[in-house]
Amino acid sequence: MSKDKSGKSLEKAAARIQQMLDPGSVVTHNEYIIDRLGHRRQFDVVIRGQAAGRDYLGVIEAKDWSTKVGTPEVEAFVMKARYVNANFVLMVSRMGFSEPGLRTAKHEGVGTLSLLPDDPIDAGFYDGLMCYAHRYEWGPFNFGLFRKEEGEPTGVSDIRSITLDGKPVIAWFAKQLSTTYMDATGPEPTLIEVKFKTPMTLQIEGREADDVTRLVIIAQRIRRTKRGFVQITGDAFYDWLANGISWPIGGALQLQVTEAMVNSWEPFTGEIPQKKEFGGLVIEEFIAAMYDEQDVIDLGKYC
């Protein structure tokens, strides 16, 4: 919400969200009401409607201040609302409420609300959800090179040195892991095998290896889990007394998640609760294996 020294931005936002919360009501901004003593009283937001066959009147005071709302402001608005026989009384404060102010509001039956802030540092508070992130990475490869009439694979100290027609074969396997098997989560290892139509001659560490019949790679997905608190912004009120969010149907809420935030989250090794139990997100990130996208040998034509 943009800053407006007159406070009109906060008032209008409060009116808009209140209308979304109670679409059957009539919500007005900056209205004057004649009180029971005949005086004109200004209210930032006025709500009128019907419940159980009776008319009701609600009033809202918006405080776009740089400090918390305290007891004097709550008591003053309570008296003002009583003079117009308001059925419910709400206060919306950009910076929230002091502890004495909250105690007074609870005693007087005043709702204490704030808009969800875009900048929690500026507002002094924020609300959000506990979220989890799974990061899937490919672990070390186990590589097997089989030659004609040999039951055991030939040992290779550096699989990156294996080439066919001058191109590294590991790039083809890495491409498969990054495309066909990108969504693999384990814990079962992923096995990829290439069987040549005829025995092939490959280069291994600068030497020729003939009669190669098949290549096998076994890769394991490693999952690392993190947990962190994600701020919520959007069309909703934060209720200070209920310690929760009043979210209207049709209101737009956003969870602000960035890669830098996830990287700063704490590692988590426990069991993630069911989504219906914690209401947050489980983010899944799949890290591709590295390969040269421009020049990858096509092993399929030899199979």
> Among 82, 115, 148, which residue terminates a domain?
115
pLDDT of residue 279: 62
> Among 88, 115, 142, which residue terminates a domain?
115
**In a shared domain, residues 227 and 89:** no
**In a shared domain, residues 131 and 276:** yes
Those residues of the chain that have pLDDT short of 70 are 1-7, 118-127, 275-280, 292-294
How far apart are alpha carbons 134 and 244 in whole angstroms?
Answer: 27
| Residue 26 included in any domain | yes
> Among 115, 136, 166, which residue terminates a domain?
115
**In a shared domain, residues 100 and 199:** no
**In a shared domain, residues 159 and 262:** yes
Degrees (nearest 5) of the Cα angle 252, 278, 90?
50
| Residue 274 included in any domain | yes
Q: What pTM was computed for the model?
A: 0.59
| Residue 199 included in any domain | yes
How far apart are alpha carbons 88 and 96 in whole angstroms?
Answer: 19
**In a shared domain, residues 105 and 71:** yes
| CATH assignment at residue 17 | 3.40.1350.10
Residue 274 CB-density burial (10 A; 0-12 exposed, 13-18 middle, 19+ buried)? exposed
Total number of domains in the chain = 2
**In a shared domain, residues 194 and 289:** yes
| Residue 250 included in any domain | no
pLDDT of residue 6: 44
| Residue 267 included in any domain | yes
**In a shared domain, residues 56 and 162:** no
| Residue 246 included in any domain | no
Range of the domain at 65: 8-115
Instruction: Report CA 12 to chain centroid distance, whole Å.
Output: 27
| Residue 64 included in any domain | yes
| Residue 239 included in any domain | no
**In a shared domain, residues 40 and 75:** yes
DSSP label of 176: H
